[in-house]
Structure 1
Amino acid sequence: MAILNSSGKSSSSKSDPWHDLESGRVAWADFSPKQQEAIVRHFAPKIRILALRLKAKLPQSVELSELMSAGSLGLLDALKKFDPTLGIKFDTYSENRIKGAMLDELRRMDWFSRGLRHKVKTIEEASRQIEHKTGRQATARQIEKHTGMSAKEVQQGMEALQNQLCISLDNFQENLVGGKNALGENEPYQSAAFQEMVDKVALLIEELTPREKLVISLYYGEELNMKETAEVMDITEGRVSQLHSQALLKLRAKYRDRFDAE
C-alpha cells in the first residue's frame, strides 16, 4: 500500500523536481545538487513512517535510527534506479526499496541473542509436539510444563518468535509487491525461485481458517494495525493478536514440514 504525498504537503506546481522525476522528464543524475536535496526532503518522511511501523514489531534493542539509516539508503537507491517506463508510481517503487533495505539491515544485524534463539527453537519444537499430541494449538502453560521454562521465559521466547515471523512475512510481502521488476530482468533463476515461494506460501495461506486468513489480509495486505483490524472484524485486540500469532505459527510450521525437506 503506497504512502501518497509523503511530505504531508500539497504540491501543485508541475515544475517541482519530483514531478519531473516521476514523469521521466528528468533523470536523477541530471538534477542539480540543490534539486536532488529538495527531492530527498520531499520523500524523506516516508522513511520515518515505514521505520515506525516496522519498529512496532521488533524488540526494544532495535534502534529506530538504525532502521531509518537503512531506509535512507533504500530511498537513494530508489532515486537512482527509478524507471518511469515501467508504469509504477515513485511512491510505490520507493516504498518497496525502503522496506527492503530495512529488512536487509535486520538480517545483517542478527538481532536475536544466542540464548533467545535457543529459547525460540525450544518453544517451536515444544509447540509442534504438543499440537501433534493434542490436535490443538499449544498454550503458554502447556509449553511451560513441557520445557520447564518459567512463564517469563516462555513469554519472551514467544514474543521473539512472533517478531521473527512478522519480519519473515513482511519480507515476503515486500518481495510480492515488488514482483518480478524488483528482481531484475536479468535474474531468471531468482525470478523463478521467487515465484515458487509465492505459490507455496499462497497455498499454505489458503489452508488457514477464514478468520486467520482475514487477519493476515488486513494486517499485511491492507496494513491495518491491531486496533483497526479488531474494529473491522468486530473482535477485541487481544483476539486479533491471538489469531495473528496462531496464523504465523501455522504458516511457519506448515512451510517447514512441507517444503524444507525438498
Structure 2
Amino acid sequence: MNERKGSPLSYADLWERWKEKGDLEAKKEIIEKYLNIVDYVAGRLAVGLPKNVSKDDLFSNGVMGLIDAVEKFDYKRGLQFETYASWRVRGSILDGLRQGDWVPRSVREKAKRIEEGYQQLEQQYLRSVTDSEMSSYLNVSEKEFQHMLQEVAVMTLCSLEDPIREEESETRLSVLVDDKAKNPDHKVQEFYLHESLTKGIEKLTEKERTVVSLLYYEDLSLSEIAEVMSLSPSRISQLHSKAILRLRGSLEKHRSLLMQED
C-alpha cells in the first residue's frame, strides 16, 4: 500500500481528545483524515467485481469499517493505525458483499464443482493436477474450464477472508498475520490451520504461488500483478481462482475437524 500522509503520532492530540475525553469532534476529524483508506481498499476490491456491485455501497461499508477501527484502536500501543484500519475496512466491505449475496447460485455451484475436483484429484494423484485432468473430471473442454475459472473469479477474491466458522469473525488469512495472544486450545487450532494452509500453498504451481503472494502479502492489485508477471489480467484472474479453490479444498479437511471438536 502506498504511504499516505498522517499517522497516530502526528494526530496524537486528536486521538487523546477522542479516547481520553470522548470528544466527538476529534473522532469525526480522525475519520475524515483517514477516508483515503476507504477509497484505496474499495478501489482495489472493485477490480474484477460484477458491474452490478455499486462502488458507493463498497465505500459505505468501508466507512463503517473505518468508524469501527477508530472506536477500537488503542493509540497508546504505538501501532500503525493505517494497517489496522485497512483490515477493518476490507472486512467490513467483504461482510457487506456476503450479506448482499451478490454471487449467482450457478457461479457458486461451478466453484464448488471445481473445488471438489481439485480436492479429489490431488488426493488421488498426490500432486497438482493439470487443466486437462480437471477438464476431464468436469466433463468439459479445456476452453470451457478456463471460462469457468473466469466466471468464479469474482467470488474467490473473498475466499481467504471467509470466517473459519460461520459464527466467528476470525478468517483463514488472519491466522497468518494476527499475533495477538490467545488461549492454548485456540493456539492448537491455529497451528493446524497454519499447517493446512502451508501444505496447500506448497502444492500450488509457481505462478499460482506468486499471484497469491503478490495479492495478499505485497498488496498489489490484479492489474499490477499482470504487469509484473507479463501476463494478461484475465490470466492472472484464472491463476488466482485456481489457487484459491485449491487452498479451499486443502482447508476443508481442517474445517471438518474443527466442526467435529465442537
In the other structure, the counterpart of 1:216 is 212
Q: State yes or no: 1:200 paired with 2:196.
A: yes
Secondary structure of 2:131's partner? coil
* Partner Cα distance (1:128, 1:176) in 2: 22
> Taking structure 1 as reference, are residues 71 and 252 closer, same or farther at Cα in structure 2, changes over 3 Å only?
same
In the other structure, the counterpart of 2:254 is 259
* Partner Cα distance (2:178, 2:32) in 1: 27
Moved more, 112-121 or 213-222: 112-121
In the other structure, the counterpart of 2:106 is 115
Letter in 1 for 2:77: L
Secondary structure of 1:246's partner? helix
Aligned residue among 70, 74, 93 for 1:79: 70
In the other structure, the counterpart of 2:45 is 54
Letter in 2 for 1:59: P
In the other structure, the counterpart of 1:138 is 131
CA contact (8 A) 1:122 1:147 kept: no
| Mapping 1:1-262, distance limit 5 Å | 1=1, 4-5=3-4, 10=5, 18-21=11-14, 25-28=16-19, 30=21, 32-125=23-116, 136-138=129-131, 142=135, 146=139, 151=144, 155=147, 157-170=148-161, 172=171, 175-176=174-175, 179-181=178-180, 193-235=189-231, 237=233, 239-256=235-252, 258-262=253-257
Secondary structure of 1:111's partner? coil
5+ residue gaps, structure 2: 163-170, 258-262
* Partner Cα distance (1:4, 1:201) in 2: 30
5+ residue gaps, structure 1: none
CA contact (8 A) 1:75 1:97 kept: yes
CA contact (8 A) 2:149 2:238 kept: no
> Taking structure 1 as reference, are residues 140 and 120 closer, same or farther at Cα in structure 2, changes over 3 Å only?
farther
* Partner Cα distance (1:96, 1:145) in 2: 36
CA contact (8 A) 1:162 1:248 kept: no
* Partner Cα distance (1:187, 1:66) in 2: 37
Secondary structure of 1:218's partner? helix
Higher relative contact order structure (alpha carbons within 8 Å, sequence separation ≥ 6): 2
Letter in 1 for 2:34: F
RMSD of aligned C-alpha atoms?
Answer: 3.9
* Partner Cα distance (2:172, 2:119) in 1: 26
CA contact (8 A) 2:153 2:237 kept: no
Give TM-score, length-normalised by structure 1: 0.72
Q: Deviations over 1:103-136 (max 9, x none)?
A: 2222222222333333433444456677769974
Deviation at 1:180, TM superposition (A): 4.3
* Partner Cα distance (2:115, 2:250) in 1: 12
* Partner Cα distance (1:86, 1:195) in 2: 26
Give TM-score, length-normalised by structure 2: 0.72
Deviation at 1:52, TM superposition (A): 1.4
Secondary structure of 1:60's partner? coil
Letter in 1 for 2:13: D
> Taking structure 1 as reference, are residues 204 and 124 closer, same or farther at Cα in structure 2, changes over 3 Å only?
closer
